[in-house]
C-alpha cells in the first residue's frame, strides 16, 4: 500500500508562498461571508438572531410552521418581537433588508400622498410575474405597458358595466347556490357541514360568469347539485347520525378551475422563497404545473374563439354578457382602426383574463368563508342584519319571495355594508402589500435607501388593536399637515363590531338613520393609492349579493364548540382551516 507516502503535489502545497495564497483565499472567503451577512439599516429594530445568519429571517418560517403557524405570520411575529411601528427583516445573502411598516397613518401617507417615492418593485415582478407577466399586476407603475394594459380593462369596473353585465350573471349563479344549500340544509337536518369547498365553487362560478359568461348549466354549483341529487337518495332520519358533522360526497372541480387553483397556489408558494424567480422556473417543470398551463391556454382560447364567433355572427347586434366579450370586441375594433389583423391569442389577453379569474376567485373565496363563519358566530349581528334586509325589501318579505336584483341594486342597507366591511377588516385575506422605494425615502424618521422593499401590514397594530406610540415630529410633512384627517387606530380592533362603520348623517341628513362610513377608521384590505385593488367594486357587488341572499334564505346557527376552529393558513392569502355551517331555512322555497 502506498497510502503513507505523501504525494509530491502535497509537499509543494505547503511552501510559504502557497500558505500565503491559502491565507488570502481564506481572508477573502471570510470577508465575503461577512458581506453576505444581513446589513441592518441603522436604527430600525430587527430580530437579533436573524442578523447573525446568511439566510436571515428565512429559517424562522420553518419554526413558525412547526408551531402550527403560517408563513405570512412571519411579518406580524417580527413586529410583535420588535414592538416597533417600523422593523426590518433579512432574506438573501448579500440582499437588502425588507422594511415592515406597522402603522396605518404612515402607510396611508406613503402609499397615497408619497406614492411617487414608491414602485411596485422587483419582488412583485418575480412573484406575480412568474405566472402573469403580461398583466399590469406584475408591472411597475412607471412601465409604459402599465397604462396600456390598465386602459384595456378599466371599463370592466364601471358601475354601468357592473350593474348591467356582471350583476345579472352573479345573481343567477347565487340563486343556484341557494338551491344547493337548501338541499344540503335539509339533508343535514341541523348538523354542521363543510362550506369551504362549496364557497370555492361559488366564487369560481361568479368570477367565471363575470369574466367569461358561463352558461348556468355549466356552473360548478349546478353540476354539484345534480350529482348530489343522484348520489344521495333521501334517507330516513334513523339512518342519519345525530351528532357531529354531516359529510356530503366530494365534488371535483372542472379542468379550468383546477388549473386556476394550481397556478394561484404557485404564486402563493413563491412568496416565502429566497428567489421567487428560481422557484417558478423549477416549479413550472412539474407535470401538474404543465397540465395547469396547457389547460389554462386551451380553455381560455376556446372561450375567446366562441366570443369572437358570436361577434362575427351578430355584428352590430352583439351584446357583451361578460368581460371577455367586451375585450374581444375592443381588440377587433382597434385592429380595424389601425389596419391590422386582430390578435385574439395574445399572451396579454390570456393574462388579463387569467388575473380576472385568479384575483377575483381566491380573495372572494376567503372573504366568503369568514363571512359565513361570522354569521354563525355573531348571532346578534346576524339577526340585526336579517331585520335590516326585511326593512329594506318590505314587499319581498310580505310576498315571501326573493328580493329581485333590481331591488338589491337600488337599495342602501348600511348595516349590510358595515357587516361586510367588518369581516374584511377583522378577517383580512391579506397580511399586507409590498412596494419598493424609488429614491432614498424617510419613513418614521429613518432614511430608507433607494431600492428597498417596504411591506405595509394590513393586520395587527392600528387595525386590530392600538398602534405603537410614534413621535409626531418623526412623521412626514404631509402626514403632519393632514394630521386631523388621518385615521389612527381601532383601539378595540380585536372585537367584531359592525357598528364601528356606522355614523349619524351630517347636517341635513334624516334623523335616526345611520349611514355607512367606509372612512371611519384604519382599513387596508384592498390596499390604497394608485395600486389599490382594481377589482374592489366587483368584489363589493358580489359580496352584497351573496350575503343578502344567504341571510334572506338561511339562518346560520352557531357551530358546536368541539367543531369550531378559527385557525388560518396561507396559500396566496389567509383562509380558515375549517369552515362549517349549520343552517336552518329561514324561508320556504
Ligand atoms: C374581497 C376581495 C378582494 C380583495 C381583498 C382584494 C385585495 C387586493 C389587494 C390588497 C391588492 C393590492 C395587491 C398588492 O399591492 O400587492 C389587489 C390588487 C388587485 N386586485 Fe384585488 N382584491 C379582491 C378582489 C378582486 C377582484 C374581484 C378582482 C378582479 C376581478 C381583483 C383584481 C385585482 C387586480 C387586477 C389587482 C392589481 C392592481 C394593480 O396592480 O394596480 N381583486 N387586490
Ligand atoms: C421597477 O422599479 C424598481 C424600483 O424603482 C426597480 O428597481 C426595478 O428595476 C423596476 N423593474 C422593472 C422591470 O422596470
Ligand atoms: C420583470 O423584470 C424583468 C427583468 O428586469 C423584465 O424583463 C420584465 O419585463 C419584468 N416584468 C414586468 C411585468 O415588469
Ligand atoms: C364553444 O362553443 C362550442 C360550440 O357551441 C361549444 O361546444 C363549446 O363548449 C364552447 N366552449 C366553451 C369553452 O364555452
Q: What number of other Cβ atoms are within 10 A of residue 497's Cβ?
A: 17
Could you give the count of Cα atoms lying within 13 Å of 476 in the half-sphere of its Cβ?
Answer: 20
Residue 588 pLDDT class (50, 70, 90 cuts):
very low
Per DSSP, the residues of 281-338 read HHHTTSHHHHHHHHHHHHHHHHHHHHHHHHHHHHGGG----SHHHHHHHHHHHHHHHH
Lowest mean pLDDT: which of 6-10, 124-128, 163-167, 547-551?
6-10
Residue 121 Cα to ligand 3 middle (Å): 10
Please identify, in words, the CATH class of the domain defined by 159-432+492-585: mainly alpha
Q: What angle do CA 547, 552, 558 make, to 5 degrees?
A: 75
Q: Is 573 in the pocket of ligand 1 (CB under 6 A)?
A: no
Q: Which protein residue has the closest C-alpha to ligand 3 atom 1? A: 125
Lowest mean pLDDT: which of 153-157, 239-243, 356-360?
239-243
Nearest ligand to the CA atom of 371? 1
Q: Are 526 and 533 in contact (CB under 8 A)?
A: yes
pLDDT, mean of residues 227-235: 76
Q: Is 306 in the pocket of ligand 4 (CB under 6 A)?
A: yes
Burial of 258 (0-12, 13-18, 19+ CB in 10 A): middle
Residue 546 Cα to ligand 4 middle (Å): 28
Closest CA to 454 of 475, 430, 441, 435: 435
| % of residues, the chain, pLDDT over 70 | 94
Q: Are 449 and 400 in contact (CB under 8 A)?
A: no
Give the ligand 1 atom nearest the CA of 538: 27
Q: Which protein residue has the closest C-alpha to ligand 3 atom 12? A: 139
Q: What number of other Cβ atoms are within 10 A of residue 19's Cβ?
A: 11
Predicted confidence at residue 129, as pLDDT, reads 83
What 3-state DSSP class applies to 523? coil
Residue 302 Cα to ligand 4 middle (Å): 7
Distance CA(413)–CA(392), nearest Å, equals 7
Distance CA(426)–CA(244), nearest Å, equals 28
Sign, CA dihedral 129-533-542-350, equals: negative
- Report which DSSP code applies to 166: I
Q: Is 143 in the pocket of ligand 3 (CB under 6 A)?
A: yes
What 3-state DSSP class applies to 164? helix
pLDDT, mean of residues 205-227: 91
Predicted confidence at residue 450, as pLDDT, reads 96
Q: Are 14 and 8 in contact (CB under 8 A)?
A: no
Distance CA(312)–CA(330), nearest Å, equals 13
Give the ligand 4 atom nearest the CA of 306: 1
Nearest ligand to the CA atom of 256? 4
Predicted confidence at residue 400, as pLDDT, reads 94
Residue 233 pLDDT class (50, 70, 90 cuts):
low
What would the grid cell of residue 99 be?
A: 422594511
Distance CA(417)–CA(413), nearest Å, equals 7
Distance CA(203)–CA(358), nearest Å, equals 10
Q: Are 276 and 121 in contact (CB under 8 A)?
A: no
What would the grid cell of residue 52 be?
A: 447573525
Residue 130 Cα to ligand 3 middle (Å): 10
Span 259-287, pLDDT tens digits: 999 998 888 888 777 788 999 999 999 99
Q: Between these two residues, 11 and 157, which has the higher pLDDT value?
A: 157
Nearest ligand to the CA atom of 138? 3
Highest average pLDDT, of 245-249, 302-306, 318-322, comes from: 302-306
Helices then strands, counting H and E runs in the chain, come out as: 22, 15
Predicted confidence at residue 214, as pLDDT, reads 84
pLDDT, mean of residues 67-81: 91
Residue 183 Cα to ligand 1 middle (Å): 33
Per DSSP, the residues of 228-292 read HHHH-----GGGS--SSBPPPPP-PPPHHHHHHHHHHHHHHHHHTSS-HHHHHHHHTTSHHHHHH
pLDDT, mean of residues 46-73: 91
Closest CA to 35 of 118, 82, 85, 94: 94
Averaged confidence pLDDT in the chain: 90
Q: What number of other Cβ atoms are within 10 A of residue 51's Cβ?
A: 17
| % of residues, the chain, pLDDT over 90 | 71
pLDDT, mean of residues 511-532: 92
- Report which DSSP code applies to 571: S
What 3-state DSSP class applies to 465? coil
Task: Flag whether pLDDT at 241 surpasses 70.
Answer: no
Sign, CA dihedral 148-153-155-158, equals: negative
Task: Flag whether pLDDT at 239 surpasses 70.
Answer: no
Q: Is 87 in the pocket of ligand 2 (CB under 6 A)?
A: no
Q: Are 514 and 503 in contact (CB under 8 A)?
A: yes
Span 118-158, pLDDT tens digits: 999 988 888 888 888 889 999 999 999 999 888 888 888 99
Q: Which protein residue has the closest C-alpha to ligand 4 atom 9? A: 302
Asked whether residue 400 is marked as a ligand-binding residue, the answer is no
Predicted confidence at residue 271, as pLDDT, reads 78
pLDDT, mean of residues 554-583: 91
pLDDT, mean of residues 307-311: 95
Residue 125 Cα to ligand 3 middle (Å): 6
- Report which DSSP code applies to 110: I
Give the ligand 1 atom nearest the CA of 210: 30
| Maximum Cα–Cα distance across the chain | 105
pLDDT, mean of residues 239-259: 82
Between the alpha carbon of residue 244 and those of residues 189, 191, 235, 250, 564, the distances in Å are 12, 7, 17, 18, 11
Residue 74 Cα to ligand 1 middle (Å): 22
Sign, CA dihedral 146-152-155-161, equals: negative
Q: What does the CA dihedral 500, 502, 506, 511 come to, rounded to 10 degrees?
A: -130
Q: Between these two residues, 113 and 72, which has the higher pLDDT value?
A: 113
Residues in the chain: 589
Q: Are 376 and 556 in contact (CB under 8 A)?
A: yes
Distance CA(361)–CA(254), nearest Å, equals 14
Give the ligand 4 atom nearest the CA of 299: 13
Q: Is 309 in the pocket of ligand 4 (CB under 6 A)?
A: no
Q: Tell me the pTM.
A: 0.92
What would the grid cell of residue 141 be?
A: 407603475
Q: Is 114 in the pocket of ligand 4 (CB under 6 A)?
A: no
CATH 1.10.630.10 boundaries in the chain: 159-432+492-585
Span 407-435, pLDDT tens digits: 999 999 999 999 999 999 999 999 999 99
Predicted confidence at residue 503, as pLDDT, reads 92
What 3-state DSSP class applies to 520? coil
Lowest mean pLDDT: which of 42-46, 232-236, 424-428, 509-513?
232-236
Task: Flag whether pLDDT at 1 surpasses 80.
Answer: no
Residue 569 pLDDT class (50, 70, 90 cuts):
confident
Highest average pLDDT, of 3-7, 39-43, 147-151, comes from: 39-43
Closest CA to 584 of 561, 546, 550, 560: 550
Q: Are 552 and 375 in contact (CB under 8 A)?
A: no
Amino acid at each position: 500500500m502506498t497510502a503513507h507516502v505523501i504525494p509530491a503535489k502535497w509537499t509543494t502545497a505547503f511552501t510559504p508562498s502557497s500558505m500565503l495564497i491559502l491565507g488570502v483565499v481564506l481572508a477573502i472567503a471570510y470577508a465575503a461571508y461577512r458581506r453576505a451577512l444581513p446589513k441592518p439599516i441603522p436604527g430600525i429594530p430587527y430580530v437579533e438572531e436573524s442578523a447573525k445568519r446568511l439566510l436571515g429571517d428565512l429559517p424562522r418560517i420553518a419554526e413558525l410552521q412547526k408551531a402550527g403557524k403560517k408563513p405570512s405570520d412571519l411579518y406580524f411575529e417580527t413586529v410583535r418581537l420588535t414592538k416597533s411601528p417600523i422593523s426590518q427583516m433579512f432574506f438573501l445573502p448579500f440582499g437588502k433588508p425588507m422594511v415592515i411598516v406597522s402603522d396605518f397613518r404612515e402607510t396611508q401617507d406613503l402609499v397615497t400622498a408619497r406614492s411617487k417615492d414608491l414602485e411596485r418593485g422587483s419582488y412583485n415582478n418575480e412573484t406575480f410575474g412568474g405566472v402573469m407577466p403580461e398583466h399590469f399586476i406584475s408591472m411597475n407603475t412607471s412601465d409604459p405597458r402599465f397604462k396600456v394594459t390598465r386602459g384595456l380593462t378599466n371599463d370592466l369596473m364601471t358601475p354601468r358595466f357592473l350593474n348591467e353585465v356582471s350583476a345579472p350573471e352573479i345573481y343567477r349563479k347565487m340563486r343556484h347556490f341557494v338551491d344547493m344549500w337548501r338541499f344540503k340544509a335539509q339533508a343535514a337536518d341541523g348538523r354542521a357541514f363543510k362550506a369551504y369547498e362549496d364557497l370555492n365553487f361559488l366564487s369560481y362560478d361568479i368570477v367565471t360568469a363575470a369574466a367569461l359568461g358561463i352558461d348556468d348549466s355549466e356552473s360548478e354549483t349546478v353540476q354539484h347539485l345534480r350529482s348530489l341529487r343522484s348520489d344521495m337518495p333521501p334517507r330516513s332520519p334513523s339512518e342519519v347520525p345525530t351528532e357531529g358533522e354531516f359529510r356530503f360526497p366530494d365534488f371535483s372541480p372542472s379542468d379550468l378551475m383546477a388549473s386556476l387553483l394550481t397556478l394561484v397556489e404557485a404564486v402563493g408558494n413563491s412568496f416565502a422563497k429566497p428567489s421567487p424567480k428560481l422557484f417558478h422556473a423549477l416549479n413550472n417543470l412539474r407535470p401538474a404545473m404543465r397540465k395547469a398551463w396547457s389547460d389554462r391556454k386551451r380553455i381560455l382560447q376556446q372561450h375567446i374563439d366562441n366570443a369572437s364567433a358570436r361577434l362575427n355572427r351578430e355584428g352590430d347586434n352583439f351584446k357583451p354578457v361578460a368581460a371577455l366579450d367586451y375585450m374581444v370586441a375592443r381588440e377587433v375594433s382597434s385592429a380595424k382602426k389601425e389596419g391590422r389583423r386582430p390578435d385574439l391569442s395574445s399572451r396579454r389577453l390570456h393574462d388579463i383574463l387569467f388575473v380576472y379569474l385568479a384575483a377575483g376567485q381566491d380573495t372572494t373565496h376567503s372573504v366568503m368563508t369568514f363571512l359565513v363563519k361570522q354569521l354563525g358566530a355573531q348571532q346578534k349581528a346576524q339577526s340585526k342584519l336579517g331585520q335590516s334586509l326585511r326593512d329594506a325589501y318590505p314587499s319581498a318579505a310580505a310576498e315571501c319571495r326573493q328580493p329581485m336584483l333590481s331591488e338589491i341594486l337600488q337599495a342602501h342597507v348600511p348595516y349590510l355594508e358595515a357587516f361586510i366591511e367588518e369581516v374584511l377588516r377583522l378577517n383580512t385575506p391579506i397580511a399586507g402589500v409590498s412596494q419598493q422605494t424609488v429614491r432614498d425615502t424617510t419613513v418614521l424618521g429613518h432614511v430608507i435607501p433607494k431600492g428597498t422593499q417596504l411591506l405595509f401590514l394590513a393586520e395587527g397594530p392600528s387595525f386590530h388593536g392600538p398602534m405603537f406610540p410614534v413621535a409626531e415630529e418623526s412623521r412626514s410633512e404631509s402626514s403632519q399637515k393632514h394630521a386631523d384627517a388621518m385615521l389612527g387606530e381601532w383601539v378595540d380592533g380585536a372585537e367584531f363590531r359592525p357598528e364601528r362603520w356606522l355614523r349619524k348623517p351630517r347636517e341635513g341628513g334624516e334623523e335616526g338613520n345611520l349611514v355607512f362610513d367606509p372612512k371611519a377608521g384604519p382599513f387596508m384590505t384592498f390596499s390604497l393609492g394608485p395600486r389599490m385593488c382594481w377589482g374592489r367594486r366587483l368584489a363589493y357587488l358580489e359580496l352584497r349579493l351573496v350575503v343578502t341572499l344567504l341571510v334572506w334564505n338561511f339562518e346560520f346557527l352557531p357551530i358546536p364548540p368541539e367543531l369550531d376552529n378559527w385557525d388560518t393558513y396561507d396559500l396566496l392569502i389567509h383562509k380558515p382551516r375549517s369552515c362549517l355551517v349549520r343552517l336552518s331555512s329561514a324561508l320556504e322555497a
